[in-house]
Copies of this chain bind each other. A is one copy, B any other.
Amino acid sequence: MDQVTAIAYSSSANMGPGYDLLAVAHDAFYDAVTATINPSQGNTLLTIGGMEGNPDPMTNTAGLSVINLLRDHGINEPVLLQIRKGIPAGLGLGSSGASAAAAVSAVSELFGLKVSMDEKVKYSMLGEAASSGTPHADNVAASIHGGFVVVESVSPVRVKHLTIHRSFSFLTVIPSIHIKNKTKLCRTLVPKDIPLSSYIQNARFVTELIAGLMGGDRELVKNGMNDVIVEAARKPLYPFYEKLKIMMLEAGAAGVCISGAGPSVVAVVDNLSDIEKIRSGTEEILSRMKIGYSIVESKVAGGTRIERNPAGN
């Protein structure tokens, strides 16, 4: 096989209190990356095609991940990556992480490399440094593994998949707001030190969230999907967030948080959530603020997978 396509889903990191540790993959969007052995590019190890934006392999997240993967495995064959973006970028939906995850998976498969799940996360995470300045594993861990994950460790990488109760799915509100260098800016807003009381409060949230998502207890999810540390520091960037959250909870969302570094807002919903009420409430709030948006309903997604028949996709 001299061509492989892999797809990886969008994800929401943090999920309230889980900064740098929790994320969930959802089937709202996906990226597809086709890796091809491409002798026509001569001595150039890696070229990137098929996307708008940044085709420089050394700073593109997928490119940087694949360059490290190829180098560590002593592969010198020329590779063309064709990236088909389905996940909108810069909106807190794990777009760069999914491209990296799909690229690493496709290239691993292309050369038959024995790369464990945790190693795939490691390589994909290296790419994240290109977009945020800091390698962080949460989004790529969700895209690689699928489902709900905890990043147990980043050095070495160790990720654990946790099973969310089947009653829960997601609704994401995606405001059309683009903040320049958003991910870097959002990381600078995060406090370096926090009072112990904030630790205790957030550790309570983590406990409630994990127990609630695993056990199917919507009251615990509601109590736990909060954050007095990171989300609190970033909220001023997104003046619509608090209004949306209150409205969504009143309309029966099980929990609401900023998706990753925002601006998207993700709600955990179940059969007690009034989706139509959430849709009309969102319209009321965001149209008054003159903010365009879209709403996407999604389910927990699987991990990165090889697409055997990409033409039929």
Interface residues of A (CB under 8 A from B): 17-22, 150-153, 160, 162-163, 190-196, 198-200, 202-204, 206-208, 210-211, 214-215, 220, 223, 229
Contact of A207 among B21, B190, B195, B199 (CB under 8 A): B21
Contacts of A19 in B (CB 8 A): 199-200, 203
Closest to A217 in B: B160
- The dominant DSSP class at the A interface is mixed
How far apart are A261's CB and chain B's nearest CB, in angstroms?
15
Contacts A21-B207, A210-B211 hold; do A229 and B199 have CB atoms under 8 A apart? yes
- Cβ of A145 to closest chain B Cβ, rounded Å: 14
Contact B206 A203 (CB under 8 A): yes
A160 and B208 contact, Cβ closer than 8 Å, known pairs A191-B196, A192-B195, A199-B202? yes
A223 neighbours in B (Cβ, 8 Å): 152
Question: Most B CB atoms within 10 A — which of A152, A192, A195, A206?
Answer: A206
Q: How far is the CA of A306 from the CA of B305 in the complex (A)?
A: 57
A289: min CB distance to chain B, Å: 31
Q: Is the CB of B202 within 8 A of A203?
A: yes
From the candidates B151, B208, B211, name the one contacting A214 in the complex (CB within 8 A): B211
